[in-house]
Amino acid sequence: MCGVAGIVSFQSTATPGKHILERMVQQLYHRGPDGYGYFVEAPIGLAHSRLSIIDIAGGDQPIHNEDKSVWVVFNGEIFNYIELRQDLVQQGHVFYTHSDTEVIVHLYEQYGDDFVSYLNGQFAIGLWDKNNQKLILVRDRVGIAPLFYTRQAGQLLFASEVKALMAASEQSPQLNLKALDQLMTFWSPVSPETVFKDVYEVSPGEMVVVKDKQITRKRYWDWQFPVNGDYAVGSDDELACQLHDLLIDATQLRLRSDVPVGAYLSGGLDSSVLVSIIHHYGNVPLRTFSIGFDEQSFDESDHQNNLIKHLNAKHSRIQSSNSDIARDFVKTIYHTESPVLRTAPVPMATLSGLVHNQGYKVVLTGEGADEVLGGYDIFKEAKIRQFWARNSNSAMRPLLLKRLYPYLDMSQGQAYLQQFFGMALDQPGLTYFSHIPRWTTTAKCKDFFSDSTKGVLKGDALEVMNSSFPENLCRWHPFNRAQYIESKSLMAGYLLCSQGDRMLMSHSVEGRFPYLDHRVIEFANRLHPKMKMRALNEKFLLKRAMGKYIPQTIIRRHKQPYRAPDILAFFGENTPAYVDELLSEDKLRSYGYFDHQRVGRFLKKVRMGRAIGYKDNMALVGILSTQVWHYLFVENHGRNVAMN
């Protein structure tokens, strides 16, 4: 992908300064190291940093139409650009490049604001319509490519990353405490909020139109599920055949490139299916990449090796240690531009570094399969809790959770299960019933907020999240509600952002996601939930459709979520100096977000080796990453400063 930036003045005769655009786009060098491009003409200024993948010789941006009345800067890929170009040429449009970007300006000429519905891709677009003096900002359907905007000094500024917006201002940003409150509940703010005060994201599937000093937001696409039992009709085999063909086509489209393409291989079902499709249908050399961990409980190397041998793939692996995670954590927060609750993004940056060093700019990944096709344990957990809610006094029903989580400590008996999983059993129809245990546990991080932080926060994060849901959510099957919430919160706000795009682009690598092709999503959304999860057998239809390509050991293995060491990375043999500094009483008092006494008592527990649970790990990473965020973006105004 690339980096985009722009300024539109609300004074029609004012011309944005090119020197400001240069400062902005230079902050995006890691996203596009192959060159910069600019267009400046009152009242608009557009800038682009390029990662050359399609039409390497002729695809420099900004791109314009025939009479230069429409200009565009674009981050991402339009995978069906060849077919779109053929249609547009037949309708009389004249192209001057072979890039996928130019398709956008001609589609807009032909179809106006509806141009986006023709795109199959991942994109963040800034389009200037000179004749109508209108700026359009639009983001792909699921939120793969980031895009942010802010309003200041009679202008609207937009960019792929917030640090580019900061480059246009002399003032240090402020933390949006409302967004931090949401992040400490849902793992990310509720879109369009960001952790930067007065900075907003273009939400997934949204178009923002700027015209006559007005900013209008409108949704052009969203996840939709059947009501009244109106599910797709067909036998298991018929539906599996349809999914099979869709996934092959989605993968083949994402192999279109003028540079070599590789693939991530985790050792799980999703990436194994994807790599197998490339092997059988890709017509490109199979090149795979993976990461291993020194901590054996996190390592999946044995499973990766099974598929590598099965397909005889050319493979590269890199190892991640606790000290690697601690060393690279500050740099990771510089790229996420957000606090995080897990260290998992850090090794993903290490992996993209391996891809870059091997000479690759593009990788396909299996992200999205769990959300689209029903793979997460949280979906199984919700099914069990719904079953339990029908007889909340049952002693047997909650024991099904032991099958789901065999590592659960059952020494406390049903009281433990009731305390953690039994929340809201009297409200099984609650829209977010599926996520209450996770969100309640995550929200324990907020126990460490200072009194001043708590004093600023008003309202309930759950109310904000609930108000963001579509009106007909309550009419969907409970399984589909859980899918929607997961896709709009954890996936869009964290997995595709902090753990996805930002870690890939930190080393100038573009990730592509076949499972998130909107045609695959729309097909899967029409399926009855039992086609996704048969009893507690996750991704039932995916296994039926693609199982013939991969070893049965991978089909049958228990799903292992991708994780990395958290507390162990920072409080092992050598604690990095920045940890002690940023968690010191002085820094905690100075920044003001957390109560220094509560954090101090918690750190004693950590250093004694007694903080080992899920919520302890989240709390430590959440507090530390927030302190790092303040150090980088408030104290040092977004400079990528070294910190040992």
Residue pLDDT, tens place only, 586-631:
999 999 999 999 999 999 999 999 988 889 999 999 999 999 999 9
Q: Please tell me which residue, 171 or 633, carries the higher pLDDT value.
A: 633
Instruction: Indicate the DSSP class of residue 397.
Output: G
For residue 156, count other CB atoms closer than 10 A to its CB: 19
What pLDDT score was predicted for residue 122? 98
Distance CA 388, CA 395 (A): 9
Select from 226, 254, 328, 344 the least CA-distant residue to 291: 344
pLDDT above 70 as % of the chain? 98
**Residues linked to residue 41 through DSSP beta bridges, in sequence order:** 44
What pLDDT score was predicted for residue 393? 87
CATH superfamily, domain 3-219, is Aminohydrolase, N-terminal nucleophile (Ntn) domain (3.60.20.10)
What pLDDT score was predicted for residue 604? 96
Provide CATH 3.40.50.620 ranges for the chain: 236-372+489-556
pLDDT digits (tens, 9 = 90+) for 439-482: 999 999 999 999 999 999 987 899 999 999 999 999 999 999 99
In this structure, which long-range contacts are made by residues 547-551, counting pairs with CB atoms below 8 Å and at least 24 apart in sequence?
Answer: 549/273, 549/276, 549/277, 549/279, 549/280, 550/269, 550/272, 550/273, 550/276, 550/307, 550/310, 551/306, 551/307, 551/310
pLDDT of 401 over the 90 cut? no
pLDDT of 533 over the 60 cut? yes
CA angle 487, 628, 504 (to 5 degrees): 45
pLDDT digits (tens, 9 = 90+) for 52-110: 888 788 889 999 999 999 999 999 999 999 999 999 999 999 999 999 999 999 999 99
What pLDDT score was predicted for residue 408? 61
Model pTM above 0.85: yes
What pLDDT score was predicted for residue 642? 64
Q: pLDDT category, 410, cuts 50, 70, 90?
A: low
pLDDT of 426 over the 80 cut? yes
Select from 22, 60, 542, 503 the least CA-distant residue to 272: 542
pLDDT digits (tens, 9 = 90+) for 5-44: 999 999 888 899 999 999 999 999 999 998 999 999 999 9
- H or E stretch covering 17: none
Select from 595, 611, 591 the least CA-distant residue to 603: 611
pLDDT of 572 over the 80 cut? no
What pLDDT score was predicted for residue 407? 60
In the predicted model, what is the mean pLDDT of the chain? 94
Stretch 131-159: mean pLDDT: 97
Q: Please tell me which residue, 382 or 561, carries the higher pLDDT value.
A: 382
pLDDT digits (tens, 9 = 90+) for 293-320: 988 888 788 888 888 888 888 999 999 9
pLDDT digits (tens, 9 = 90+) for 209-251: 999 999 999 999 999 999 988 999 999 999 999 999 999 999 9
Provide CATH 3.60.20.10 ranges for the chain: 3-219
For residue 512, count other CB atoms closer than 10 A to its CB: 28
pLDDT digits (tens, 9 = 90+) for 325-382: 999 999 999 999 999 999 999 999 999 999 999 999 999 999 999 999 999 999 999 9
Distance CA 443, CA 437 (A): 10
Given a contact cutoff of 8 angstroms between Cβ atoms, the answer to whether 96 and 102 are in contact is yes
CATH fold of 236-372+489-556 reads Rossmann fold (3.40.50)
Q: pLDDT category, 562, cuts 50, 70, 90?
A: confident
Provide the 3-class DSSP secondary structure of residue 481.
helix
Stretch 499-503: mean pLDDT: 97
pLDDT of 156 over the 80 cut? yes
